[in-house]
Homo-oligomer: A and B are copies of this chain.
Amino acid sequence: MSSSRPHDVVVVGSGFGGLFTTRALASVPGVRVTVISGTNHHLFQPLLYQVATGVLSSGEVAPATRDVLRRQRNARVLLGVVEDVDLDAREVVHSSPAGVTRTRYDSLVVAAGAGQSYFGHDEFAEHAPGMKSLDDALEIRGRIYGAFELAEVTRDEAAVERLLTFVVVGAGPTGVEMAGQVAELAHRVLPGQFRHVDPRRTRVLLVDPVDHVLPGFPERLSEAATRELEAQGVEIRTGWKVVDVDAEAVEIEDGDGGRQRVPASCKIWAAGVQGAPIGRVLAERAGVETDRSGRVPVEADCTLPGHPEVFVVGDLMRMDGLPGVAQVAMQSGQHAADQIRRRVDGRPTGQPFAYRDKGSMATVSRFFAVAQVGPVQTSGFVAWLLWLGVHLVYLVGFKNRLTTLLHWAVSFVGRGRAERAATWQQVVGRNAVRQDAGASFAP
């Protein structure tokens, strides 16, 4: 296909799937890429928990997408939420405060990702924010540091106990990392900064209906993570299910139906995922059914059934046996880009996507991670160094990897948390904005 009209690729989403698709198309002649995303940044989600706990700043995990792609002349970036896809006209309908726009495509790659799933209990979201966006992380940061602040100011013992109880729902990597970080705040960072309350009284509960932490990891690593979490003082409640959440507490239930109400101000939801809403719209248009998590079933080559010109990649893609991890998003995005290149070149397409599992890792505490790379399973300091190296490599290309390293030094070698600032709005919560003392009030 060497016609003069360019081949228009629309990429929905600026996460790992969208970014890796776009970059893989950089040197393909005759291709124009339009990235449409609801945020102006590429979110490096594996480090989002460090934003939530004050280790890193927003910018360090979320460089502006158009900055990352500035040298890729065949790519443009548009801010917008994709609300519909017209599969017949081959147009994407996206909206922003600037209005509704329709953008035509020859090939479409939907990499809109996933949000948090509350398993039918969306009312929990207000009390237990998820860990999927910058908004989430900054909200949680305000709640974590806010809880310690309020524990210092109140004289009500029951309130102190509630404020110093943190419940993390979901014992996958994000949940484990959050629980470990909050425990470290309580035991290593904050003691000595409070006069009334002892942050070491903090309880951190890690709750998951599955009966062990890090499901999906080898048993040995799960056990090593469990021991390290317990050494950090995290109370592991695996085999327990959260059945209710309100402003003051969570209610959890064990396998035998025994119930417990745990007073806790700060709850963090790191449990299920739910595909972005555009997934359901797209599936409906194509006459297929999303799965329970709202993911779109695809053919072996990551295309939408009946639409070889439409790809679904990353967390929004439903393909048997593939987990919702960054590596799947990157590789499926690259596969889609490769298929598009073949199509533009006039070569045969339809090659199945073959996922190469490069391994998985999770940090449990400072200097302690668990990692599986091929046949190698390791836990402890070596795994932590591996974690550090891998994340720095993947951060390469972002301007601020140097400041990230410095912030890590401050946090892991020192005892600091450089990004603790929480605005009053964040401390008191989205729904109860109060006036600032000496700042930002309308007099």
- Please tell me if the beta carbons of A132 and B196 are within 8 angstroms of each other in the complex: no
Does A81 reach chain B (CB closer than 8 Å)? yes
Which of A92-100, A226-234, A335-343, A355-363 contacts the other chain?
A92-100
Question: What string of 1s and 0s marks CB contacts (under 8 Å) between A175-205 and chain B?
Answer: 0000000000000000011111000000000
Report Cα–Cα, A287/B248, bound state, in Å: 43
Interfacial residues, chain A to chain B (CB-CB below 8 A): 12-13, 15, 36-41, 43, 54, 57-60, 62-64, 66-67, 70, 76-82, 96-99, 101, 111-118, 122, 125, 130, 132-136, 138, 145-146, 149-156, 159, 163, 192-196, 274-278, 294, 316, 399-400, 402-403, 406-407, 410, 414, 416-425, 427-429, 432, 434-443
- Please tell me if the beta carbons of A115 and B153 are within 8 angstroms of each other in the complex: no
Report Cα–Cα, A40/B438, bound state, in Å: 13
Query: Which of A15, A97, A146 is most buried by chain B, counting CB atoms within 10 A of its CB?
Result: A97
- Please tell me if the beta carbons of B418 and A277 are within 8 angstroms of each other in the complex: no
- Please tell me if the beta carbons of A115 and B440 are within 8 angstroms of each other in the complex: yes
Chain A to chain B contacts (Cβ below 8 Å), 27 pairs: A13-B438, A15-B438, A36-B437, A40-B420, A58-B419, A64-B145, A64-B421, A76-B196, A78-B152, A79-B146, A79-B153, A80-B153, A81-B436, A97-B150, A97-B427, A97-B428, A97-B429, A98-B153, A98-B159, A133-B423, A133-B440, A135-B423, A135-B440, A294-B443, A400-B406, A402-B406, A403-B418
- Please tell me if the beta carbons of B133 and A436 are within 8 angstroms of each other in the complex: yes
Measured between beta carbons, the chain B residues less than 8 angstroms from A428 are 96-97
- Please tell me if the beta carbons of B67 and A416 are within 8 angstroms of each other in the complex: yes
Measured between beta carbons, the chain B residues less than 8 angstroms from A419 are 57-59
Which residue of chain B has the shortest Cβ distance to A95 in the bound complex?
A: B434
| Closest chain B CB from A159 CB (angstroms) | 6
- Please tell me if the beta carbons of A117 and B59 are within 8 angstroms of each other in the complex: no
Report Cα–Cα, A420/B419, bound state, in Å: 16
- Please tell me if the beta carbons of A97 and B432 are within 8 angstroms of each other in the complex: yes
- Please tell me if the beta carbons of B63 and A13 are within 8 angstroms of each other in the complex: no
When A403-B403, A440-B133 are in contact, do A39 and B150 touch as well, CB less than 8 Å? no
When A76-B196, A149-B40, A196-B76 are in contact, do A62 and B421 touch as well, CB less than 8 Å? yes
